[in-house]
Amino acid sequence: MMKSVIEYKDYREYVLDYYRERKRTSAFTWREFAKIAGFASGSYLKLVCDGKTRLREEGAKKTAVAMGLLGFEYDYFVLMVRYESAKTDREKKKCFEEMEALSSAHNVKILGSELYTFYETWKHSVVRELAVAMPGAKPHEIAKVCRLPISAADVSSSLKFLVNSGFLTMDVKGAYHQTNRSLTTGRLKAVSVAVHSLLRQMGEFALEAFDKLPISERHFSGIFMGMTAASYEKVVEELTECRKRIVSIVSADKDVEKVCRLNMQLFPLTENLKFNNGKGEKR
């Protein structure tokens, strides 16, 4: 028996599972599936599942009906399609939150929703570090050492979330421990939207640090450089490896003296250039 659609986060996976289940119990074909959904091309839905094309809004509604989805399941499927088609992080965030609300209302948890909430704000990352570094500290004491604006109520709320979601555990003495030293978003597309929001926040905080902190407490540097597509990929790989080495260094620390943020940024300052006879003419 298939899982409910609200246990999915990728509409292609659901359509493919639906097809396989129908195929398992009958002589169901992609052509028949497309015909029921009202598509002219008999291979359209297979192309969708293969990632070679995508469903649009009207196509999503027709496909949902063809699969017998009604009520909140119909709405959820359309939201999954809408999420993938969203052009901005704000639109994606709105769709994901609506999906999460529907799943929560029907007692189903979307995989990765805890990570989404975790990365949506910088507060959870900082509190997760400070709770362990300051054993026995009260929420107002944790809030006090933060240079960024956070209240004792925010800290209390964050601690509750971190424990309930498994990012922290509490022992019998009331001390907090991290379940994992480092975290990764893996391939969860929905989480990346929250990470984008966090990166924006950190970029803003970096500007404040540049203006407010003495040079001895901050390190800012950068390079202007001409690059090819190949060298760009190599630099990205080098930055990834560098980040891993840095995580290894700090993971070896037994005690924490302060919580810091390292931003790595690489972005173009010009459009792509095509060179013609040695002249840097843009085409």
- Its pTM stands at 0.50
Enter the CATH code of domain 118-219. 1.10.10
pLDDT category of residue 112 using cuts at 50, 70 and 90: low
- pLDDT tens-digit map of 127-165: 998 998 898 899 999 999 998 889 999 999 999 999 988
Comparing 131 with 108, the larger pLDDT belongs to: 131
User: Inter-axis angle of helices 89-105 and 113-120, to 10 degrees?
Assistant: 130
How many percent of the chain have pLDDT more than 90?
33
Helices (H) and strands (E) in the chain, counts: 12, 2
CB neighbours of residue 273 within 10 Å? 11
Residue 266: other Cβ atoms inside 10 A: 12
pLDDT of 157-197, one tens digit each?
999 999 988 888 988 888 898 877 666 554 445 556 667 77
Integer-rounded Cα radius of gyration of the chain: 24
* Overall size of the chain counted in residues: 283
pLDDT at residue 29, as a whole number: 95
